[in-house]
Amino acid sequence: MAPPLAGRAENAIQARLLRLLRDEGSLSRVDITERLAVSRTTVAAEVVRLVELGLVRDAGPAASRGGRRSTMVDLSPDLRFVGVAVGATSLEVAVTDARLEVCDRRSEPVDVRRGPEEVLARVLQLTRELMDGQGGGRPSGVGVGVPGPVDFHAGVPVSPPIMPGWDAYPVRDAVVRELGCPVVLDNDVNLMALGEQQGGVARGARDFLFVKIGTGIGCGIVVEGDLYRGADGCAGDIGHIRVREDGPHCACGGKGCLEAVFGGAALARDALAAARSGRSPALADVLARTGTVTAADVGRAASAGDAVAMAMVQQGGRDLGVVLAHLVSFFNPRLLVIGGRVSQLGHALLAEVRGVVYRRSLPLATGNMPVVLSELGGLAGITGAVRLVSDQVFSPR
């Protein structure tokens, strides 16, 4: 791969300047001086250094504000970040510019249970294809999300229940070795939370929860603007909270876990039963036509007025709502965001969740707390991945 990797921030002022340009776009030197509250001389010197490092460029004269004409400064148009979202059954890779706008993306079905070597080979292949499409070169950083607990500092998955073969596999270091750039590995839900904060419905929110309902159920926790990971890195693991004493068995070995009653697999299981028994004509029809039923079919059948499908969405929303009501009383977030594939059940689900949360949490905690659907949908994880690795590249070493 041809041109050399651009450098990283060398000091705190450079870091603040790079993040400012990332989040707000090109700025004049005068504006930068004001925003960073440092001297013109300091800004001039740091910009020279960042140009040398290949991280920023001069971008022509600024519109006059009177006095000496200022010049605009911008992030280098050559910088590229790569975001990777490994799911249970799909892989998505995107390349973005330094402002984290997606330039190009690829997705393909994958079975995460085939293990890290096979999945990471696909990640690297897609990354190389995407970078070639951008004119070659190495990415400035790669962020990778996986559907399971991660030791963030070590860059390895930790006993991920749905990822056999990945436990303690050095994912981060393997990608660093192949691509030779900074790499971060995190839990998919944490990255989705950061993604919504960077470019979605939680933009600017400092204390909020992002709840993912997909194959698994989990929660990303943002405290004072940063991810809270907990003492062992497994904060937010709400999928195994027991919501029904005599509920169905769960993959974790427990019974009646939230995930076992309302995760994607649980919904598909219940939908199949409703189709086979004929209780749901709409789901029976899907089964007859396609040979299977999925969580998404439940959503479609509910929207079309199927009573059994609607009852499944409502019961799931109530179970989820009870757990979230507890978390709202405990955590007093500014905002509750619901995302992940099952959240595509949409407004019927949201109405149910809101009803339970607002009824069962303290008025003081909910008076000013919107419960909203993810805005970025499938892009949340990718956006969070490039945000997290750009935070690292735009930090002093």
Residue numbers of the site for a copy of itself (CB under 8 A)? 149, 158-159, 207, 219, 221, 223, 228-238, 240-242, 252, 254, 322-323, 325-327, 329-334, 360, 362, 364-365, 367-369
User: Which is nearer to a copy of itself, 84 or 324 (by Cβ)?
Assistant: 324
Enumerate residues 6+ apart whose C-beta is below 8 A from 23: none
| CA 161/CA 216 separation, integer angstroms | 10
Are 88 and 376 spatial neighbours (Cβ–Cβ below 8 Å)? no
Are 89 and 109 spatial neighbours (Cβ–Cβ below 8 Å)? yes
Minimum CB distance to a copy of itself, residue 385 (Å): 22
| CA 266/CA 250 separation, integer angstroms | 9
| CA 93/CA 88 separation, integer angstroms | 14
Strand order in the sheet with 371-373: 226-227, 217-223, 208-213, 335-339, 371-373
Minimum CB distance to a copy of itself, residue 4 (Å): 35
Minimum CB distance to a copy of itself, residue 77 (Å): 37
User: Which is nearer to a copy of itself, 48 or 362 (by Cβ)?
Assistant: 362
Minimum CB distance to a copy of itself, residue 224 (Å): 8
Question: For the chain, what is the radius of gyration of the CA atoms?
Answer: 23
User: Which is nearer to a copy of itself, 221 or 313 (by Cβ)?
Assistant: 221
User: Which is nearer to a copy of itself, 16 or 229 (by Cβ)?
Assistant: 229
Minimum CB distance to a copy of itself, residue 333 (Å): 6
Exposed, middle or buried: residue 73 (CB in 10 Å: 0-12, 13-18, 19+)? buried
User: Which is nearer to a copy of itself, 155 or 333 (by Cβ)?
Assistant: 333
Minimum CB distance to a copy of itself, residue 172 (Å): 19
| CA 92/CA 129 separation, integer angstroms | 13
Minimum CB distance to a copy of itself, residue 235 (Å): 4
User: Which is nearer to a copy of itself, 236 or 264 (by Cβ)?
Assistant: 236
Enumerate residues 6+ apart whose C-beta is below 8 A from 287: 272, 275, 276, 293
User: Which is nearer to a copy of itself, 161 or 281 (by Cβ)?
Assistant: 161
